[in-house]
Structure 1
Amino acid sequence: MTVVIFIFLLDQLSHGPLKGRKSPPVIDVAPVWGGMLAFLAGPMKLMREATPKYGEVFTVPVFHKRITFLIGPKVSEFFFKAKDTEMSQKEVYEFNVPTFGKGVVFDVDHTTRAEQFRFFADSLKSNRLRMYVGMMVKEAEDFFSKWGDAGEVDLLEQLSELIVLTASRCLLGREIRETLYSEVTDLVHDLDKGMVPLSVFFPYAPIEAHRKRDAARKNLAKIFDKVIQARRESGASEPDVLQTFIDARYKDGSRLTNDQVLGMLIAVLFAGQHTSSITSTWTGLLAIANKERVMPALEKEQKDIMKKHGKDLDFDILAKMDELHFAVKEALRMHPPLIMLLRMAQVPFEVETSTGKKYTVPKGHIVATSPAFSHRLDNVYSDPNEYKPERFREPNPEDKAQFASFIGFGGGRHGCMGETFAYMQIKTIWSILLRNFEFEMVGKVPEPDYTGMVVGPTAGQCKIRYKRRVL
């Protein structure tokens, strides 16, 4: 206890007010562990209670750390526009290293990570996306062909399964999808369950979830080492993200090791698998729950496109589905899977609130902004708690009124590179569903489950009733 208090006092001195500048207000909690208890009780609860009292900028002490919250687009501008040398992801996301592996993403310096992000970008170029859409369509059509003429399904369970199938084909490769799917899926599940709230603070704690995570990571490495080595030796080339990472070269001509290729794949999978399954589920639940108001525009769009293109679905046809795009985007506005975005302040920076108050956030603070909270502010969106896809239509889309109003895919320098891939994937699923089925809710729209690292609808409460259309 003496050591903890000593660290706390040192931190108070090192993070005290900057001379001549006003630091953000610090919320009133018990010393040392009070902020931790408030944070673990739920960041959404914390923000709901703290914002009316402290305003758009406030600091939460968590042990010897300081987390400064920036609430809303006005105070978040520097967060999204700053360079990596000013606002860094690495220090706050290093807890991912046991899962992703050494030498990739958050275990490398800024320059190396920038090159690795270039590899990501290469895997998501338009020519690649066009090939992926064909894979998405096939997986979705095969999956929904197994539904009956009528029935009830748990939408979250069904779409999560489909997303994994699609990810296996587009990201992990033909070999995994065709011969090793079940084995790899089980290992990825253990890897996923190894990331718990405790992992953020103690990623190497000797708990069962971490032991399973580490074992799964080792077994995945063995499987992918064989697949990658076989491709390297045969000179085979496949149209998937795995191949992009195998072929990737740094500026000095060196390439990723087999284990680093796997690490990059895991990073992509974790970035997209849950977020896509959750957002595709919310899209369906919210559209069906508001079917009289929302469904006519979605169904008309599909009918109009089918009159022109028949049953074809490709990248260009999906890009024309504005109404479906708005429906997905509105679901993501209301229920972003990542409720917190974090950075480490490498330099002090000034923020000004919408009421004109100015604060200087000190160097060394963890800085947090929240899509889930900011997207529900009534000074950013009209009727923020209502599902209104039409809010994004021209000529006055609400998300364009001010910078960083919509941050479902992050924003600025670190906007999600997989945004187009995600929209294509979700629009493929719902285009096929809208063309082939009619839907009704079973029960009410579920509440978000804030107990998980990635927030989705509460499991077991996502039942819908479907009926196959007579064409």
Structure 2
Amino acid sequence: MATISTPHYLLDQAKRRFTPTPNTLPGMAAVEKRLKEKDWDQFVFSEPPAGSGLKAIMGDSGLPIIGHMIEIFRGGPEFILDMYRKHGPLYFADSPALSAVMALGPDATQAVFSNRNKDFSQRAWDPVIGPFFEGGLMLLDFDEHMFHRRIMQEAFTRTRLTGYVSHIDSVATQVLANDWVADDARFLFHPAVKELTLDIASEVFMGHPAGTDRKLVTTINQAFTTTTRAGNAVVRTPVPPLAWWRGIQARKTLEDYFSSSIGEKRRSESTDMFSVLCHAQDEDGQSFTDDQIVSHMIFLMMAAHDTSTSTMTTMAYHLAANPQWQDELRAESDRIGDGPLDIEALEKLETYDLVINESLRMMTPLPFNFRQAVRDTDLLGYFIPAGTNVVTWPSINHLMPELWTDPKRFDPARFAEPRNEHKKHRYAFAPFGGGAHKCIGMVFGQLEIKTVMHRLLRRYRLELAHPGYTPRYDYGGMPVPIDGMPIVLRPVR
């Protein structure tokens, strides 16, 4: 018989119930009003040792069973920012999904990411995505993480990135020309760009050119999608045919594919990332084992396409809503023209950098990060017991008026001279994390986004689906537009 985790079941039901639709919005407004009016009963989470001089962390449990999940699903970083205003930088939120101390604000973000005494590990990710992305770089700690990162860095050198750009450009040009068509009504941007980034990942990471081995590529891409979604499963045991079981089966599909291809990749001199990882070595000549390559490829494929998909979706909306910025980007692209792209050409798209950063600020693809205390420690003068899960929310730093002028307004110029608002605090802007675990693929992601959006703006003008359209998001994991983000594509010539 299946073992059903009641909290996860209730969370799923709550998420479905409170996902905004025309039928649920009126009821949701009433629930939100009651939630905002409620003063939750607080308790002391961590009683500090006598004489330590450390402060106790307070906390609450929110609603029975489901905690604060409704507020998080609906409000995301805005709700967390409210918690920071009300309770300060450290506050314990009891939750059936992952009870944790919220470490909020730029100072807490810096302390956790810097991790100078190695007090915080990545083990808090295990119950969330561990079974599906075991061995991935983000799930490794300390010396093991640094060993793997040194070798993997070979896949992200400027020379390697130069080789990837031509592949990205080839796929983007082909897909935009053949699969994306002008639609005056509802071109759903999010699912379309997600499929595009998977196609890019198939060529750049696995070496499958777009349009070849279509059946195999489709199978692998479906396995990645299934694996990624399995973290939201209701039943958290491998019971067929439920989501957790499907995720584990999909992981096996990916393992079998990469394992069967390693021999060929080790013999080749291809420029795809799979081949690069098979040959990569650190300065001491150490390289990855076959199993390590498999684990890294599975994680990199997931991380590469989801974050880029999120950023380009946000970017498309704001360019449609702010046509003056779209005009600036198009003018910059006009100077590059329709010729083949390389890193040097992409580096000339400097206004794109501002728009990408502003899109990352306003809707951060990974709004939170998990850590776990490996020993009793302190954080900003508060006592943290060993084993405590700690969640940082860099995304709320991006919304603070003490760091950003009018933070709810789309204003890419805030990243340019002389304003440089992102420099007001080291962690005022941290969409890629920080410290030893800062995203190793951030430059690759920026090159991919520039390439796709350059090609898109050369072909189409982006317009809102209707005047005043504002997307609504599901914040259950990475923020996803509930309606798929309808955008009107109008040919520019």
User: Is the shorter-chain TM-score for this pair beyond 0.5, marking a shared fold?
Assistant: yes
Partner of 2:435 in structure 1? 412
How many angstroms apart in 1 are the aligned matches of 2:117 and 2:295?
21
Partner of 2:228 in structure 1? 192
Partner of 2:355 in structure 1? 327
Partner of 2:329 in structure 1? 298
**Match of 1:270, as an amino acid?**
M
How many angstroms apart in 1 are the aligned matches of 2:393 and 2:60?
21
Shift of 1:62: 4.4
Q: 1:95 to 1:105 in 2, by over 3 A?
A: farther
1:221-264: per-residue Cα shift (whole Å, max 9, x none)? Answer: 222222222334xx212101101221235788665443432211
Deviates more, 1:377-386 or 1:216-225: 216-225
> Where does structure 2 lack aligned partners over 5 or more consecutive residues?
1-42
Contact between 2:44 and 2:59, CA under 8 Å: does it hold in 1?
Answer: no
How many angstroms apart in 1 are the aligned matches of 2:181 and 2:286?
54
Shift of 1:213: 1.1
Shift of 1:278: 1.1
Provide the aligned C-alpha RMSD in A.
3.0
How many angstroms apart in 2 are the aligned matches of 1:280 and 1:368?
26
Q: 1:176 to 1:253 in 2, by over 3 A?
A: farther
How many angstroms apart in 2 are the aligned matches of 1:217 and 1:288?
38
Shift of 1:109: 5.5
Match of 2:354, SS?
helix
1:83-128: per-residue Cα shift (whole Å, max 9, x none)? Answer: 4722211343464332124x55467653222221223321111101
| Residue 222 of structure 2 is aligned to residue 222 of structure 1 | no
**Match of 1:37, as an amino acid?**
G
Match of 1:58, SS?
strand
| Residue 154 of structure 2 is aligned to residue 122 of structure 1 | yes
How many angstroms apart in 2 are the aligned matches of 1:28 and 1:342?
19
Q: 1:376 to 1:206 in 2, by over 3 A?
A: farther
**Match of 1:73, as an amino acid?**
P
1:422-465: per-residue Cα shift (whole Å, max 9, x none)? Answer: 110001011111222222111313112213x22122233x1222
Deviates more, 1:277-286 or 1:166-175: 166-175
How many angstroms apart in 2 are the aligned matches of 1:94 and 1:253?
34
1:170-193: per-residue Cα shift (whole Å, max 9, x none)? Answer: 112238973221121122222122
Partner of 2:35 in structure 1? none
How many angstroms apart in 2 are the aligned matches of 1:41 and 1:324?
33
| Residue 274 of structure 2 is aligned to residue 212 of structure 1 | no
Partner of 1:381 in structure 2? 404
Q: 1:205 to 1:148 in 2, by over 3 A?
A: closer
**Match of 1:407, as an amino acid?**
A
Contact between 2:156 and 2:441, CA under 8 Å: does it hold in 1?
Answer: yes
Shift of 1:388: 0.8
Q: 1:177 to 1:299 in 2, by over 3 A?
A: closer
**Match of 1:421, as an amino acid?**
F
Contact between 2:46 and 2:56, CA under 8 Å: does it hold in 1?
Answer: no
Match of 1:178, SS?
coil
Partner of 2:343 in structure 1? 315
State TM-score, norm by structure 1.
Answer: 0.84
How many angstroms apart in 2 are the aligned matches of 1:224 and 1:247?
15
Shift of 1:217: 1.7
From 56, 60, 67, the equivalent of 1:28 is 60
Contact between 1:38 and 1:46, CA under 8 Å: does it hold in 2?
Answer: no
How many angstroms apart in 1 are the aligned matches of 2:85 and 2:341?
48
How many angstroms apart in 1 are the aligned matches of 2:368 and 2:241?
25
Q: 1:21 to 1:362 in 2, by over 3 A?
A: farther
How many angstroms apart in 2 are the aligned matches of 1:176 and 1:440?
28
> Where does structure 1 lack aligned partners over 5 or more consecutive residues?
1-11, 353-357
Q: 1:203 to 1:70 in 2, by over 3 A?
A: farther
Match of 1:37, SS?
coil
Contact between 1:36 and 1:61, CA under 8 Å: does it hold in 2?
Answer: no
How many angstroms apart in 2 are the aligned matches of 1:344 and 1:430?
38
From 47, 50, 53, the equivalent of 2:83 is 50
Partner of 1:38 in structure 2? 68
How many angstroms apart in 1 are the aligned matches of 2:340 and 2:138?
41
From 99, 107, 125, the equivalent of 1:92 is 125
**Match of 1:17, as an amino acid?**
P
How many angstroms apart in 1 are the aligned matches of 2:234 and 2:397?
25
How many angstroms apart in 1 are the aligned matches of 2:170 and 2:405?
39
How many angstroms apart in 1 are the aligned matches of 2:138 and 2:168?
29
Shift of 1:390: 0.9
Partner of 1:161 in structure 2? 195
Contact between 1:172 and 1:241, CA under 8 Å: does it hold in 2?
Answer: yes
Partner of 1:275 in structure 2? 307
Aligned residues between the structures? 441
Partner of 2:364 in structure 1? 336
Shift of 1:411: 1.8
Partner of 1:8 in structure 2? none
1:273-331: per-residue Cα shift (whole Å, max 9, x none)? Answer: 1110111111011111111x32232222223344xxx6342111111211111111111
Contact between 1:246 and 1:256, CA under 8 Å: does it hold in 2?
Answer: yes
Partner of 2:478 in structure 1? 454
Match of 1:367, SS?
strand
Partner of 1:441 in structure 2? 464
**Match of 2:155, as an amino acid?**
S
**Match of 1:173, as an amino acid?**
G
Shift of 1:150: 3.6
Contact between 1:375 and 1:405, CA under 8 Å: does it hold in 2?
Answer: yes
How many angstroms apart in 2 are the aligned matches of 1:148 and 1:61?
45
Contact between 2:464 and 2:486, CA under 8 Å: does it hold in 1?
Answer: yes
Q: 1:78 to 1:183 in 2, by over 3 A?
A: same
Instruction: Give the percent of matched residue pairs that are identical in Structure 1 and Structure 2.
Output: 23
Shift of 1:40: 6.4
**Match of 2:222, as an amino acid?**
D
